[in-house]
Each structure stands twice: as structure tokens, then as C-alpha cells.
Amino acid sequence: MKDITCIEDLRLIHKRRVPKAFFDYVDRGSYAEETLRANRSDMERLKFRQRILVDIAKRELDTTILGEQASMPLILAPVGSTGMQYADGEIHACRAAQAAGIPYTLSTMSICSIEDVAAHVEKPFWFQLYVMKDRGFVKALIERAIAAKCSALVLTVDLQVIGQRHADIKNGLTVPPQLLKLKNIIDFATKPGWVSGMARTKRRNFGNIAGHLPGAQDLASVSGWVASQFDPSLNWKDIEWIRSIWPGKLVIKGILDVADAREAVKTGAEALVVSNHGGRQLDGAPSSISVLPDIVQDVGSQIEVLFDGGIRSGQDLMRALALGAKSCMIGRAYIYGLGAGGQEGVATALDVIGKELSVTMGLCGVNRIADIDRRVLTDYLQTNAISSPRS
């Protein structure tokens, strides 16, 4: 990992090391990928105000996230099938996050189960919940997260129906999976490191589900069950129910609209995540960064506003903090590290982003995370660039 200087380096190694079907699963977005692209292009339009001759010798990145101390304002986002990017990937990613002093979020759709990750890491992690139609299963999953001492529940609310990703269909990541197409087999043969890792582990199915439902054991039956279980009827009343059975901190993830942010505040959740699911759901939705300022302005004093979508550097992290995010999640940026080199790759991704943030703060004349605000940006935002829809 010593020649790695940026997240794009990790992405290119990930691409070489991991089969195309799984790389595309991470890298691509839904439909025409307009929102995926907007997450990046709107981010890049925000320009920093360089400040000089300020004493920046003692810069500190530490902060609190949901009241807990963290080494920097960053969280590893929930990413389904992480254990298909690198054998036992969830355990590697969680260990890297904990060593770096930031929270890790385990997806409902993880390969390693809640109990498995808990048994292999030292500290509590966050758990992300998809509310399935089978509410008995959901209740049992929450009880398992409580038993594993998960320190926050991230309730993802932007996936009542699934946005189509064309690449996944073409690659055979379908229900049931059709991975053993000739082109995939030829591709697997060119990825020996990945193949040998996956051959050595037993963790190759959705660990939170397989074995926890009668009849759902192999990958085909589990993925069939999951596909039939996303609930289009999910609504705010269900969130009240979740709140009543989850005693810990609640984070509502997938908010893009001020009106929905206000509803999230009413649930009593501790935090919300401004997110468009990394451009994987509603294509044509605005970039997360473009809607962040209005949401912060409206509800930022009542709830902790977190952010994700398009962060690939410490500069991007600083941009989101400047527009009012308290902390940010990253998805792809750490998965590229994982695919490139397991725990060490994730650690490298976090190190890269932390150092970039520190230098960016310095060159903007800022020493502490709490001092980052809009003043670190030029007035480009107000005069030119991104505009957000008002409620």
C-alpha cells in the first residue's frame, strides 16, 4: 500500500483485483447515473477560500459523533455484500474503522452476520436496518443488534422499491444470481487473489438472513426472499414502531427533502443522513451536497445532520462540513480500499482522507473541526452553482 496517494489509486487496484461483476456493483449507479455523476460534479464546484499566515501548527481532527468521541468526522457507511469484495470484508472494514477511531456501520445485507462481526472486533459498531415485510424477522434482527451491543441503529428509508442498476443485470447480479455465465468464469480466472480468498472463507451468503429463516439457506433462495421483502407500504407509522422497540440511538438515512427532514425530527431520532444512497436509487434526484444547506438550515439545531454521497477525499469531507454536516459517511471510498487490500486497504483509505482533511483545513486557516463553516468556501455557492429545491 506504500505507493498509494489517493482514493483513485485504491479504486484502480480494486478494479484489477476483484471480479468485474462485484467491482461494477460498487462503482456504478442506477439507470442513467445522472445522480451518481451529480454527487461528484456538484461537490467539485465548491471552491475553498485560501487563507494565509494563520498559525495552523496545532490542527486537530477529533470530534464527537452521536455524543461519542471520534478521531475525525467520518463514519463507514453501510454497504451490502461487502464480504464479496474481499473475503470476510465486513470484519476487515470494522477493524480498520475501530483502529482509526471512527464508527463502522454493518448493513442488513452484509455477508458476515451481526454476531460474527461482534465476535471478531473489540468495540460496538452501528447496525443498518432495512425494514422487511416480515416484521417478525425485523423485530428479531433488532433484538440481535441489541444483544450484540450495537451502538446505533441506522434506519435506511430510501429503498422501498429498488432502483435498477443496468450493470448488475448485465453482469448476472440478479435474482437468482447468474454469476456462472461464461464471461464471469473467464473473468474470475484473471482474479486469483480474490478467488483464493473467497475459497478459504465460509462466508459467502447473506449472514444476517441465511439460517435465520426456514427454507432460506442457499444464495438463490436467500436473495429471492430478500427481493420479495422490500416493503413499498413502509411509512412514518412504522418508524414509530421501530423507535418503540430500539432503545438506543436512531439515525434515519436517506433524506433529501426539507419536509422529510422535519418528519424525521418528529420521530425523536438522534440523527439523519442526507443521502441519495450514493446515486443508486432515484436517478435524477439532486446531489446530496446540493440539498444539504437547506436541510441544515431548517432542522440542524434540532437533530444531528450527517451527510453522504460523492466523498472521495478529505477536501470533499471538508466541503460537506462547510455546508453544515456534523459528520459524513463514506461508501465507495473505503470499499475501494477494502477491495484493494482488505483491512490494510481500508486503513490506507482512512489515512489518505484524514491527511487530506488536515492539509485542507490548514490551507484554509482552520485548526479545529468545530471552526469549519461556510466561511472556508468562496462565495461561488451563493452566486453561481448549486441550487437546492425549497419545500
Ligand X SMILES: Cc1cc2nc3c(=O)[nH]c(=O)nc-3n(C[C@H](O)[C@H](O)[C@H](O)COP(=O)(O)O)c2cc1C
The residues that touch ligand X, with contacts defined as CB under 6 A, are 25-26, 39, 77-80, 107, 109, 128, 156, 253, 275, 277-278, 280, 308-311, 329-333
* One-letter-per-residue 3-state SS of the chain: CCCCCCHHHHHHHHHHHCCHHHHHHHHCCCCCCHHHHHHHHHHHHCCECCCCCCCCCCCECCEEECCEEECCCEEECCCCCHHHCCCCHHHHHHHHHHHHCCCEEECCCCCCCHHHHHHHCCCCCEEEECCECCHHHHHHHHHHHHHCCCCEEEEECCCCCCCCCHHHHHHCCCCCCCCCCHHHHHHHHCCHHHHHHHHHCCCCCCCCCCCCCCCCCCHHHHHHHHHHHECCCCCHHHHHHHHHHCCCEEEEEEECCHHHHHHHHHCCCCEEEECCCCCCCCCCCCCHHHHHHHHHHHHCCCCEEEECCCCCCHHHHHHHHHCCCCEEEECHHHHHHHHHHHHHHHHHHHHHHHHHHHHHHHHCCCCEHHHCCHHHECCHHHHCCCCCCCC
Shorter beta-carbon distance to ligand X: residue 329 or 386? 329
Shorter beta-carbon distance to ligand X: residue 24 or 366? 24
Catalytic residue among 92, 120, 166, 277: 277
Task: Quote the least distance from Cβ 50 to ligand X, whole Å.
Answer: 26
Shorter beta-carbon distance to ligand X: residue 25 or 194? 25
Task: Quote the least distance from Cβ 306 to ligand X, whole Å.
Answer: 10
Shorter beta-carbon distance to ligand X: residue 191 or 332? 332
Task: Quote the least distance from Cβ 165 to ligand X, whole Å.
Answer: 9
Catalytic site includes residue 277: yes
By beta carbon distance, the residue nearest ligand X is 331
Shorter beta-carbon distance to ligand X: residue 8 or 379? 8
Task: Quote the least distance from Cβ 333 to ligand X, whole Å.
Answer: 6
Active-site residue set: 277
